[in-house]
Amino acid sequence: MQRSPRSRTGRGPGGSTRVRAAGTLATGALLLPLLGAAPPQDAAAPSAELQHAFAAAASEYHVPQSVLLGVSYLQSRWDAHDGAPSVSGGYGPMHLTDARTALARTVAHDHAEGDARGDAARGPLAAAPPAARTVPTLSQLPARLKTLVRAADLSGIPAADLRTDPAANVRGGAALLAAAQKRLGKPLSSDPADWYGAVGTFAGADDAATAATYANDVFAVIRDGEQRTTDAGQRVALAPDRAAQPQAAQLRAMGLKRTSASDTECPRTVSCEWIPAPYEEFGDGDYGNHDLADRPHDQSIDYIVIHDTEATWEETLKLVQDPTYLAWHYSLRSTDGHIVQSIKAKDVGWHAGNWYVNAKSIGLEHEGFLAQPDSWYTEEMYRASARLVSYLAKKYDIPLDRQHILGHDTVPGPTTSTIPSMHTDPGPYWDWAHYFQLMGRPFHPTAGRGGGVVTIDPRFGRNKPVFTGCEAAGRPCAAHGSSAVRLYTAPSTDAPLVKDIGLRPGGQDSTIDVNDVASRVSTGQQYAVAGREGDWTAIWYLGQKAWFENPRKQPTAVNAKGLVVEPKAGAQSVPVYGRAYPEKEAYPAGMTPQAVSPLSYTLLAGQRYVVGGRTTGEYFYSPTFDTSTHRVVRGKDVYYEIQFGHRVAYVRAADVRVVPSTGS
């Protein structure tokens, strides 16, 4: 999200907020198929020390080892993250939360200053006030954000050890599960099914739907089994237990808050509640924080935009309910994957900074901070998000690829002047490969070396490019797995980075700052091949040839094929656009036509770019609170969306020809 000056963007006062939730206690509504964890990460000599720690803790606290392993997998995929906290203040393989300690070191990133609405038809509004950055007292925190403190009390293990020692962390998690089991009056049984209720409450859910969804996911892991090598080189395995079955009655007897799914648009396999963003008029005819529409009847929904909040969960919910701020469709909580829907999918949120994309997209905000690489997301949040995106993509016929499932950092600036102020979340530490694998769309080769296209696909855990600026300008960020691959002007790391004339009109050099997207590509993005030399591959990128390391033994891209665009015969260059607006003749009398304004880039003869889709120019006219004036303007001009740089862009069909990439 990255808060920006309010310009038809929204927070919402809730007044009396109705809370409704989607989710089910029925074990038959378990999961949309989530296609497993990523393949095991290679390690020179995987250690079994963590596996032994799970066995020892299970024995000490009389918790079934499969339950302990299943809970830990849903929290962290058994990673220790070198003692760094998650975005919600969770530590270690068990994700024991100590949010007070974690918040004290949180670095929020408010880089972008653009208009989140991205429509020049309405003038900018006053800036939103800066968010408060205070560390709450322990009593001010909900129980789900201080499980480490309780684990320390139960186990007698110092909090510092629970944060930094994986074996101690596992023991603390086992102590919490055993205490929950006793609190429920259940025996410390060896049968995993007897632990369903204790598992459901482990992540701190206070409503039945969230607890059931979480417990069902843990039991799915137990039934299917998992194995992988962790970020610390630990080999951990959980053997499948097909007999492990959820016992929904255990949660029904716990008196957790009951919620209704009637107002939400979510799959039954997630926990989802309705907290509406207000559509209210205020001031001198002003209003916020979204627009009412009738999608997909009046215009298609073509994109889903992935954001991170740059705020805590509680602050995020306050922001989306403020009519003077901006609003998006869904928010996802990191501790347990709980989802809040605030805008109906038919309506248009102000979240992407490009009005054309806003009008054609659904926005998902994930609790997190892009400039804190070690502040990781839980596996349960990735899974909840993957299910939600899969559901929305199927419902609205949105292709599951990186040119339609956009990061906020790949949304183009609508005009040349807006390019430097566009947002950069969710950033280089979002695991796109794992995310798409969970949606059943893993990236893989689709052609040989002659296919003419590459799909960026580095191994996330091994790919650790150096970034700066996470905590202070110029200071190196902590080494961490990344989806980003860096681009150079020649096949050498000694060569200069490629430049982005839109981001830096003065021609200044690109940097390795965590928010500088000028010279990097990201997992799943596809580009036309421009050349190969040894372990290096060149692609066409922002009107230039850009090189990246792609060694055969540890590739950062795989071969592919598809459709590409190139300038029509005889054209030396064609303009590139940040939005697909209709021609001026399409606008009715009395409505000011929106400029079909090219960006500062050009697509040159001899270059090719991968086609993402074909669309006819549209503009959603909605400058007033009174929806009777709203209208979708459709033109005759046809555009192709292309992967032009780190961000997508558009070219007019009249300027280019579409050809197969094979043999290029």
Residues 56-94 pLDDT 10s: 999 999 999 999 999 999 999 999 988 888 888 899 999
Whether the per-residue pLDDT at 578 is higher than 50: the answer is yes
Alpha carbon of 159 to those of 70, 143, 180, 271: distances in Å? 23, 16, 19, 31
Whether the per-residue pLDDT at 35 is higher than 60: the answer is no
Residue 297 has what pLDDT?
A: 96
Whether the per-residue pLDDT at 4 is higher than 50: the answer is no
Residue 30 has what pLDDT?
A: 38
- Kindly indicate the confidence band of residue 370, based on its pLDDT and cuts at 50, 70 and 90: low
- Please list the residues that pair with 531 across neighbouring strands: 538
Domain 1-23+259-442, architecture per CATH: 3-Layer(aba) Sandwich (3.40)
Residue 192 has what pLDDT?
A: 95
Query: What's the average model confidence in pLDDT over 268-291?
Result: 89
- Name which of 582, 26, 636, 633 is nearest 299 in CA terms: 633
Neighbours of 49 (CB within 10 A): 14
Residue with more model confidence, 480 or 257: 480
Whether the per-residue pLDDT at 249 is higher than 80: the answer is no
Give residue-wise pLDDT tens across range 337-357.
999 999 999 999 999 999 999
Choose the weakest-confidence range: 214-228, 467-481, 614-628. Answer: 467-481
Query: What's the average model confidence in pLDDT over 44-64?
Result: 92
Whether the per-residue pLDDT at 163 is higher than 80: the answer is yes
Residue 247 has what pLDDT?
A: 80
Give residue-wise pLDDT tens across range 71-80.
999 999 999 9
Q: Which 8-state DSSP code applies to residue 615?
A: E
- Kindly indicate the confidence band of residue 631, based on its pLDDT and cuts at 50, 70 and 90: very high
Average pLDDT over all residues of the chain: 87
What is d(CA 217, CA 106) in angstroms, rounded to the nearest whole number?
Answer: 29
- Kindly indicate the confidence band of residue 477, based on its pLDDT and cuts at 50, 70 and 90: confident
Asked if 330 contacts 342 with a C-beta cutoff of 8 angstroms, the reply is yes
Query: What's the average model confidence in pLDDT over 100-112?
Result: 63
Residue 612 has what pLDDT?
A: 96
Secondary structure (DSSP) of 217-273: HHHHHHHH-EEEE-TTSBEEEE---TT----HHHHHTTTPBP---TT----TTS-EE
Query: What's the average model confidence in pLDDT over 99-126?
Result: 65
Choose the weakest-confidence range: 63-77, 79-93, 243-257, 583-597. Answer: 243-257
Choose the weakest-confidence range: 103-107, 137-141, 160-164, 564-568. Answer: 103-107
Residue 483 has what pLDDT?
A: 96
Query: What's the average model confidence in pLDDT over 107-124?
Result: 62
- Kindly indicate the confidence band of residue 546, based on its pLDDT and cuts at 50, 70 and 90: very high
Asked if 637 contacts 617 with a C-beta cutoff of 8 angstroms, the reply is yes
Neighbours of 140 (CB within 10 A): 12
What is d(CA 67, CA 218) in angstroms, rounded to the nearest whole number?
Answer: 8
Q: Percent of the chain scored above 90 by pLDDT?
A: 69
What is d(CA 619, CA 526) in angstroms, rounded to the nearest whole number?
Answer: 27
Whether the per-residue pLDDT at 17 is higher than 90: the answer is no
Residue 123 has what pLDDT?
A: 61
Residue 632 has what pLDDT?
A: 97
Q: Percent of the chain scored above 70 by pLDDT?
A: 86
C-alpha 122: how far from its chain's center? 29
- Name which of 650, 654, 551 is nearest 609 in CA terms: 650
- Kindly indicate the confidence band of residue 10, based on its pLDDT and cuts at 50, 70 and 90: very low
What is d(CA 634, CA 586) in angstroms, rounded to the nearest whole number?
Answer: 6
Choose the weakest-confidence range: 21-30, 105-114, 233-242, 612-621. Answer: 21-30
Residue 252 has what pLDDT?
A: 67
Secondary structure (DSSP) of 476-522: BPPP---SEEE-BSSSSTTSPBP--TTT-TT-PPP--BTT--TTEEE
C-alpha 134: how far from its chain's center? 26
What is d(CA 594, CA 608) in angstroms, rounded to the nearest whole number?
Answer: 28
Residue 593 has what pLDDT?
A: 95
- Kindly indicate the confidence band of residue 310, based on its pLDDT and cuts at 50, 70 and 90: confident
Residue 20 has what pLDDT?
A: 33
Q: Is the CATH number 1.10.530 carried by domain 25-98+146-252?
A: yes
Asked if 216 contacts 247 with a C-beta cutoff of 8 angstroms, the reply is no
- Kindly indicate the confidence band of residue 368, based on its pLDDT and cuts at 50, 70 and 90: confident
Residue 27 has what pLDDT?
A: 37
Whether the per-residue pLDDT at 571 is higher than 50: the answer is yes
- Name which of 288, 264, 439 is nearest 349 in CA terms: 288
Choose the weakest-confidence range: 171-180, 248-257, 376-385, 478-487. Answer: 248-257
Give residue-wise pLDDT tens across range 168-223.
999 999 999 999 999 989 999 999 999 999 999 898 877 788 888 999 999 999 99
What is d(CA 351, CA 357) in angstroms, rounded to the nearest whole number?
Answer: 9
Please give the backbone phi and psi of residue 69, each rounded to the nearest 5 degrees, phi first: -65, -40
User: Where do the structural domains in the chain lie, given as residue ranges?
Assistant: 1-23+259-442, 25-98+146-252, 443-561, 566-660
Choose the weakest-confidence range: 120-124, 325-329, 491-495, 623-627. Answer: 120-124
Whether the per-residue pLDDT at 47 is higher than 70: the answer is yes
Whether the per-residue pLDDT at 479 is higher than 80: the answer is yes
pTM: 0.90
Whether the per-residue pLDDT at 602 is higher than 50: the answer is yes
Query: What's the average model confidence in pLDDT over 237-259?
Result: 78
Asked if 33 contacts 218 with a C-beta cutoff of 8 angstroms, the reply is no
- Kindly indicate the confidence band of residue 246, based on its pLDDT and cuts at 50, 70 and 90: confident
Residue 586 has what pLDDT?
A: 97
